[in-house]
Amino acid sequence: MNSAAPIDGHDRKNKIVSVSKLVAAGVQEIFELLANPAMHSVIDGSGSVRAPKDSAPSRLSQGAKFGMSMKKGAPYKITNTVVEFVESKRIAWRHFGGHVWRYILEPSNGGTMVTEQFSYGTSKSPLMLKLAGYVRNNERDMRKTLENLANHFSPNR
């Protein structure tokens, strides 16, 4: 995987949806938020992330497992595994469905360029994800997530 932040949009060949935003905060501050499952509901743009399960670690690391309480229509719980972890640069997790949520951080003038990716090439059912609208809707939800992230670090909040 190329570490450079990709252009926003949908890479259909590699089955990756990417959205980037400049956030007025340092890479370490942002990484600490992303590595803390308790903060995921604060920035979630989909409205589905509720809270970490009690067994979730307070800080994620490579191979860490963390459960989340979710709600998309009905409440449910999901367990994720951290599959990529490069301190202050990249963090990604996946659950039993096989698709990956990834954040790539790059220092930039004025803060950090944050790229969120939904990678469904490893999904056990990419066709179902498409038919259910997840691939199409994730770009919209990721834009909202990055907006929430930027607002979290805004001095005017």
Sign (positive/negative) of CA torsion 49, 55, 56, 58? positive
Give residues with Cβ within 8 angstroms of 87, minimum separation 6: 31
Is residue 4 included in any domain, yes or no? no
User: Which pLDDT value is given to residue 2?
Assistant: 41
- In a domain, residue 109? The reply is yes
State whether residue 109 is helix, strand or coil.
Answer: coil
pLDDT score recorded for residue 7: 58
pLDDT of 10? 85
pLDDT < 50 regions, the chain: 1-6
CATH number for 60 = 3.30.530.20
User: Domain total for the chain?
Assistant: 1
Q: Has residue 93 been placed in a domain?
A: yes
**In the numeric block, which tokens belong to residue 75?**
């409440």
pLDDT at 143: 96
Q: Is residue 2 part of a domain?
A: no
Structural domain range at position 103:
10-151
pLDDT of residue 6: 46
Separation CA 39–CA 83 (nearest Å):
19
Q: Establish if 25 belongs to a structural domain.
A: yes
Q: What is the pLDDT of residue 5?
A: 43
Report how far residue 140's alpha carbon sits from residue 39's, in angstroms, rounded to the nearest whole number. 20
Residue range 93-118, pLDDT digits in tens: 999 999 999 999 999 999 999 999 99
Beta bridge partners of residue 70, listed in sequence order: 49, 76
pLDDT value for 140: 93
- Amino acid 126: pLDDT: 77
One DSSP character per residue, 22-91 reads EESS-HHHHHHHHT-GGGHHHH-SSS-EEEE-TTS-SS--TT-EEEEEEEESEEEEEEEEEEEEETTTEE
Cα torsion 77, 40, 49, 125: sign: negative
- pLDDT of 134 reads 81
121: CB partners within 8 A, 6+ apart = 14, 15, 16
